[in-house]
Amino acid sequence: MGKFEIILSDRAKKDLLAIERSGDKASIKKVEAIISALVGVKLSV
């Protein structure tokens, strides 16, 4: 499986920060799973 480079727009960065700050662990885990599946690495936050 190939690897991808993820380039986030300013809006996406703000949205990700808002999700992180919300403390909604379920949403944070979903975002982590999507990103790690795309880049092929496990994320640690």
CA–CA–CA angle 25, 29, 30 (5° rounding): 120
pLDDT at 7 over 60: yes
pLDDT digits (tens, 9 = 90+) for 11-40: 999 999 999 999 999 999 999 888 888 777
- The 3-state secondary structure of the chain reads CCCCCCCCCHHHHHHHHHHHHHCCHHHHHHHHHHHHHHHCCCCCC
Q: Are 31 and 19 in contact (CB under 8 A)?
A: yes
What's the whole-model pTM score?
0.63
Q: How confident is the model at residue 8 (pLDDT cuts 50, 70, 90)?
A: confident
The residues, any chain, with a CB within 8 Å of residue 5's CB and separated by 6 or more, are 39
Residue 28 has what pLDDT?
92
